[in-house]
Amino acid sequence: MIVETLINEKYQVSSIKYSVYKKEKIHNTKYSIRNTTIIDLGAGTGTVIFALADTLYKKNKQTKLVAVEIHPLLYFLMQVRRLLHPYKQHIEVVRADMFSQDFWKKIVHQNKELIIYLYIGTTYMNKLKKHLSKLAPKTRIISYMYAFLGWENMLVLKKVASQHAIYEYRLDK
């Protein structure tokens, strides 16, 4: 159900432009644990995470949302958006490099039931594979626009409409 909501939100909101990539350490150390968590790896201005938060808030859900972003201004913008959001106690905005070991250890592996969402290019996706494949088998990985090369056997859903494409993977498939 949550995955469907996520996919629908992504179809409804328009994607944003981005430019600056930098390697940074995790600046946000506060972190809480709940049952289902959706992590947006490279959340930008929070287009997806906040649209999702609107829906989950209306449905009175307890899902935790985590927006991970390396760019300081985008991170700051999301912190402001978070403060103004009625669902804010369920949203965490983390400034981190999605490729750092520290990030996976301190943030991602702390969650029990996980949905990873990403909209990044295939080079980054390939680089992330070694981290993603260590996650619990029931983890769902949802990629907007690009497919993971070599993961065809783990693909459970492919949805393509005009310029949009969504791929869902499960490690236990």
Ligand X SMILES: C[S@@+](CC[C@H](N)C(=O)[O-])C[C@H]1O[C@@H](n2cnc3c(N)ncnc32)[C@H](O)[C@@H]1O
* Binding-site ranges for ligand X (CB under 6 A): 15-16, 18, 21, 40, 42-44, 47-48, 68-71, 74, 97-99, 119-120, 144
In this complex, which beta carbon is closest to ligand X, that of residue 47 or of residue 55? 47
In this complex, which beta carbon is closest to ligand X, that of residue 144 or of residue 169? 144
Quote the CA–CA distance of 74 and 115 in Å, as a whole number: 22
Quote the CA–CA distance of 87 and 56 in Å, as a whole number: 8
CB of 58 to ligand X, least distance (A): 21
CB of 42 to ligand X, least distance (A): 2
CB of 132 to ligand X, least distance (A): 14
In this complex, which beta carbon is closest to ligand X, that of residue 102 or of residue 172? 102
Beta bridge partners of 158: 167
How wide is the angle at C-alpha 128 spanned by C-alphas 100 and 39, nearest 5°? 80
Nearest-CB residue for ligand X = 42
CB 151 within 8 Å of CB 167: no
Angle between helix 2-12 and 47-58 (nearest 10):
130
CB of 68 to ligand X, least distance (A): 5
In this complex, which beta carbon is closest to ligand X, that of residue 42 or of residue 153? 42
CB of 97 to ligand X, least distance (A): 4
Q: Maximum CA pair distance of the chain?
A: 41
In this complex, which beta carbon is closest to ligand X, that of residue 70 or of residue 91? 70
Residues 6+ apart with CB under 8 A from 49: 38, 40, 43, 65, 66, 67, 78, 91
